[in-house]
Amino acid sequence: MSRPMTITEKILAAHAGLPEVEPGQLVNCRLDLVLANDVTAPIAIREFAKIGIDHVWDAGKIALVPDHYTPNKDIKSAEQAKLMREFARAQGISHYYEIGCMGVEHALLPEQGVVGAGDVIIGADSHTCTYGALGAFATGVGSTDAAVGMATGEAWFKVPPSLRFNVTGTLGRWVSAKDIILHIIGLIGVDGALYQAMEFTGDTIESLSMEGRMTICNMAIEAGGKSGIIAVDDTTRAYMKGRTERPWTEYFSDPDAVYAQVYEIDATAIKPTVSFPHLPSNTRPAEDARDVWVNQVVIGSCTNGRLEDLRIAAEILKGRHVHPDVRLIILPATQQIYRDAMHEGLFDIFLDAGAAVSTPTCGPCLGGHMGILAAGERAMATTNRNFVGRMGDPTSEVYLGSPAVAAATAVAGHIAVPEDLG
């Protein structure tokens, strides 16, 4: 009889062709997808050329998404995108997304049905862990590992121990998935899940939309996690049905699976939460941060640029105006989200409020373009990192929060919750 296993262990065992695996074991797994972007793909492409293989292992299982510095901000970024474009065409890579059909990679690939339950996915981007929301094992790797993956369709892993976060109870008004994950990161620290799989369970998680689940898994890396994962349920199936391009496989943790640690979290105690500079773990209730005035608010990114996020922001911004000292930048995460938000009338609300609406890009999140901070400026952002100099000058500051907190902050001029607006 095989040992009881977690969902992560079962996926890795299946892809390694083994009946069972255990934490710490080294395994070689077949891959379902290799992902890279305009920062990491050029390095991977150059390393791929050194391997001496003419063609990628499977042109249908590689995704290249130029999203960090696109639309290209300068000559260097244009050359990066050009290299990707030419490689994709030469290799016949079908999952290549560029201006007009693109989006922020971790919002785009689930939307396009490129990832699904039971997959093993590596991406040369740390937030690849987003796809765990679909019940997949997804993790970020370096560009060299991505190159080997593109060449062989395989990658080796050390099986991670699993942590279980059992979140139960009803969330309060304006409390969202972003607040849950910020609360967890604040609880365990930025290395609290180092090289461990973060498994999220409980009735609170089950009540979340797919957008909310992606937000939570997206930020597993901010606690040091190797991956984040949520088991498939009817919400997942409804999202994947008719969308996911390959058959998927559902895995579930055994009732007696062994976890390195189990955290019981009361959702009713979670408040709208803000991460102060310069770590995602430096969390405080938003209501305790009202003395922090900001210069810029960014709503978007692979964490919170989905339609649900934009609807929340629009609900708060409707009939109100952005504070005169604040620049509000809103970035729908994909072209489809952009179109849907536009047709729903959300853009009218944003523009009437005095916001700028951008084409999909990661730009401001990593301090690339479309919203760089000057010396001493502060930003409230729905992004995922607030390290020193993350969005601009090393003396600037980034505060992380949910779309609700970000929209309220844009109106108030200082960190606020929607109730503050009257």
Taking every pair of Cα atoms in the chain, the longest distance, rounded to a whole number of angstroms, is: 67
Banded pLDDT at 347 (limits 50, 70, 90):
very high
DSSP per-residue codes, 12-53: HHHHHT-S---TT-EEEEE-SEEEEETTTHHHHHHHHHHHT-
Structure tokens belonging to residue 5: 């296993």
Query: What's the whole-number average pLDDT of the chain?
Result: 95
d(C-alpha 89, C-alpha 378), whole Å: 42
Do 273-421 and 7-264 have the same topology in CATH? yes
Banded pLDDT at 70 (limits 50, 70, 90):
confident
Q: What is the pLDDT of residues 396-413, one digit of tens each?
A: 999 999 999 999 999 999
Domain regions of the chain by residue span: 7-264, 273-421
- At the top level of CATH, the class of 273-421 is alpha beta
Where do we find the tokens 């040369």? Answer: 124
Calculate the CA 270 to chain-centre distance: 21
Q: What is the pLDDT of residues 3-39, one digit of tens each?
A: 899 999 999 999 999 999 999 999 999 999 999 999 9
What would the mean pLDDT of 78-105 be, rounded to a whole number? 92
157 in Cβ contact with 27 (< 8 Å): yes
- Helical H runs in 72-176? 75-91, 105-111, 143-152
Banded pLDDT at 156 (limits 50, 70, 90):
very high
Total number of residues shown for the chain? 422
d(C-alpha 287, C-alpha 173), whole Å: 14
Instruction: Work out the burial of residue 287: count CB atoms within 10 Å of its CB; fewer than 13 is exposed, 13-18 middle, 19 or more buried.
Output: middle
**Predicted structure pTM score:** 0.94
Q: Which phi and psi angles does 3 have, rounded to 5°?
A: -70, 150
163 in Cβ contact with 257 (< 8 Å): no
Structure tokens belonging to residue 414: 């200082």
Calculate the CA 299 to chain-centre distance: 14
What would the mean pLDDT of 288-317 be, rounded to a whole number? 96
- The pLDDT assigned to 1 comes to 56
Instruction: Work out the burial of residue 422: count CB atoms within 10 Å of its CB; fewer than 13 is exposed, 13-18 middle, 19 or more buried.
Output: exposed
**Architecture of the domain made up of 7-264:** 2-Layer Sandwich (3.30)
How many CB atoms within 10 Å of residue 113?
Answer: 14
